């Protein structure tokens, strides 16, 4: 009786399916569902790989752009150093171009810019800065004041550190007035803590009294 009822259930108005055929169809249905699930998982993994490749491609593009920018900046700085080097077309008396850990800097002798113990730019100092302005436009700069280690005796600033900062600020103010954006100019004073050369000879002390205009690499 139960088998008769099962056969009846498997029969439809169109056809009658045997139990074997029904099991075969169910097996094919289960296999198809498994294939669909696998395809769905493959699609998910493929989408993840595509997104990963897209991100990697963007990073490679950014690195290529950075490398191109760095190469361009290096070329410009090398050209700058060549032009202002001794015998170069733009050589300025009392100014040398030096490479530092943070970038290239114009190193200006203190005696070119200021009288001893003073922070007021001399007329010669102003002319010297005027010759550098064009090369500084469009750059982010930090004006750094430096002194020798000889204690101050005849200056209202009291310490070499204070004098170095006042001098750096005077140069920064002049460059801003000459057209450099305020947002591109900062100032710092280091006193005698960062000598250009070691030693206490007259020549060494003279070389350490300086202002450096650092072109910060970004």
The tally of domains found in the chain comes to 2
Q: How do residues 144-171 score in pLDDT, each as one tens digit?
A: 999 999 998 877 888 999 999 999 999 9
The verdict on 206 and 124 lying in the same domain is yes
Burial class (CB in 10 A: 0-12, 13-18, 19+), 172: buried
Q: Which domain range does residue 79 map to?
A: 18-91
The verdict on 123 and 86 lying in the same domain is no
Please state, in angstroms and rounded to a whole number, the distance separating the CA atoms of residues 181 and 114.
Answer: 24
Using the predicted structure, report yes or no on whether residue 4 has a pLDDT greater than 60.
Answer: no
Q: How do residues 35-69 score in pLDDT, each as one tens digit?
A: 888 877 777 777 776 666 666 666 656 565 677 76
* Single residue among 91, 113, 132 that ends a domain in this structure: 91
Please state, in angstroms and rounded to a whole number, the distance separating the CA atoms of residues 137 and 131.
Answer: 12
The verdict on 100 and 204 lying in the same domain is yes
Collapsing DSSP to helix, strand or coil, 92 comes out as coil
The verdict on 102 and 201 lying in the same domain is yes
Instruction: List C-alpha distances in Å: 119 to 69, 106, 132, 157, 173.
Output: 37, 19, 19, 9, 12
The verdict on 52 and 83 lying in the same domain is yes
- What DSSP state is assigned to residue 152? P
Please state, in angstroms and rounded to a whole number, the distance separating the CA atoms of residues 65 and 57.
Answer: 12
Residue 11 lies in a domain: no
The verdict on 186 and 84 lying in the same domain is no
Instruction: List C-alpha distances in Å: 175 to 22, 120, 179, 189, 216.
Output: 91, 14, 7, 17, 16
Please report the pLDDT score of residue 101 as a whole number: 82
Strands, E, within 57-177: which ranges? 95-100, 103-109, 141-146
């Amino acid at each position: 009786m139960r088998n008769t009822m099962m056969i009846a259930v498997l029969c439809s108005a169109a056809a009658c399916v045997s139990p074997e055929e029904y099991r075969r169809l169910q097996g094919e249905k289960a296999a198809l569902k498994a294939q669909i699930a696998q395809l769905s998982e493959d699609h998910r993994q493929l989408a993840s790989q595509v997104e990963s490749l897209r991100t990697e491609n963007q990073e490679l593009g950014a690195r290529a752009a950075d490398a191109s920018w760095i190469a361009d900046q290096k070329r410009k700085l090398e050209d700058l150093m060549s032009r202002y080097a001794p015998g170069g077309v733009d050589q300025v008396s009392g100014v040398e171009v030096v490479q530092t850990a943070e970038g290239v800097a114009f190193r200006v002798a203190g005696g070119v810019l200021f009288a001893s113990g003073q922070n007021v730019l001399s007329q010669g100092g102003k002319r010297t800065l005027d010759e550098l302005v064009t090369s500084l436009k469009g750059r982010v700069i930090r004006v750094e004041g430096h002194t020798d280690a000889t204690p101050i005796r005849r200056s209202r600033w009291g310490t070499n550190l204070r004098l170095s900062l006042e001098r750096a600020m005077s140069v920064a103010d002049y460059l801003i007035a000459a057209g450099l954006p305020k947002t591109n100019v900062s100032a710092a004073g280091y006193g005698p803590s960062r000598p250009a050369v070691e030693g206490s000879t007259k020549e060494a002390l003279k070389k350490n009294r300086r202002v450096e205009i650092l072109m910060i690499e970004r």
